[in-house]
Every structure is written in structure tokens, then in C-alpha cells.
Structure 1
Amino acid sequence: MFFCYQNGMKLVSLESYEEEQAILSAWDLLQWSSLSDVKHEGFWIWEGTGTPLLPGYENWNDGEPNGSSASEQDCMSFPTTSQIGWIDNICDGDVLPGTCELHP
């Protein structure tokens, strides 16, 4: 995540199923995205673009997002192709890779 910011990029904002699958075909691993509800609990924003999640593409795993303000699961990670759907995670809980993208 810090690599992206240190190099003038941001974590990926997934805009379609096809984009998500293209990333997973190159890097099939659990990784961070730029989606979070850090600023307002329950209101998910693509931090890379400042765009609200809805209306738009979403691919939550069943029962997700399931975090409460007490659990602070404010960041979304997307799984490998062997898993199904996005999960909400504690932002600083896991050391995960992330795909960077450049936003001019």
C-alpha cells in the first residue's frame, strides 16, 4: 500500500468484474484495494478516485461487509480466484500486497 503512495500512485479502484478478473489473472493473491469506509462508517468510497461504491460494481462475499464500528473493519481486500467475493478487513490488521494504479 505504501509503495503505491510513495510512487505517486494509489491502490486500485475496481470498476468492473472484468477489471477484477484481469488483476487476479496477473496476481492471484489476497490484496488491498482503495475501497474503505474510514471517513463515514457504512459509506464505502473508492479512495483512489473519491467515487462512492454505489451505484457501481460491487462483489462482496456473502455476509460482507460485516464489520461494525467497534471492529473497525474499514478497508476492503479482494480474494484470490479460489475464493469468492470481497471482504472487509481491519486496515492495519494484515500485511497484504496491493495493485497500484496511476490517476492523473
Structure 2
Amino acid sequence: MGIIGYSSPDCGMERYYTQENMKQLLDDWEAENRRLHESELLEIAKKSAREFIRDADGEPYKQEDWEMYLTEDASRVDKDTEAAMNYAIDDGDWFTLAENIGRLANS
């Protein structure tokens, strides 16, 4: 008895392959977008660091607060810059780490 309803070994997998392809394309775009905005992100981080230190008023720096500062400042530029900053944050780039705020502010 044959298998009814299957026209190829990959039957039913087309949707999966399409989704995986779309995920890969998105990942590639995010990485390229991050690379294209690298110098802009660093300048945003330097400016944000100075403001962050001033607004912290001696309180310890929290990573979540620093990430929020970076994202908000990048979003004021445009959506691609915001996406690049979020990618950098997710990737753990050095300038997105709260431990480097002082270094950024002094550069």
C-alpha cells in the first residue's frame, strides 16, 4: 500500500524552509544594518553616556537603564539606527555595556 497524499519527500516542509529562509534573510539584514551604522552608534553611545552620568546623579549604573537610553537616543535618528542599536545590544557590543559608560563619556 502506497503513501497517499505525499507528492515528494519534502511535502509539508515548504513552509518550514520558507520561514527558515526568511529568518536567515532578516539576520543577514540586521547584521549588515549594524555594520553600516557602526560609527553612528558609537557617537550616540558617547553622547548618551555623558547624559546618562549627569542623570544618574551618583546612583549606580544599571544595564537595563543604559540599554533604554541607547535605544531611545538611536530611535530619535530613524528606525534603521534604532534596529542597529538593538542588534548591538543583543550582541553585547562593548559600548552597550554599562561598565563602559565612563570610558564612553570621557572619549
- Pick the TM interval, shorter chain: under 0.3
For the pair shown, the structure with the greater C-alpha radius of gyration is 2
TM (normalized to structure 2)? Answer: 0.21
TM (normalized to structure 1)? Answer: 0.21
Per residue, is there more strand in 1 or in 2? 1
Per residue, is there more helix in 1 or in 2? 2
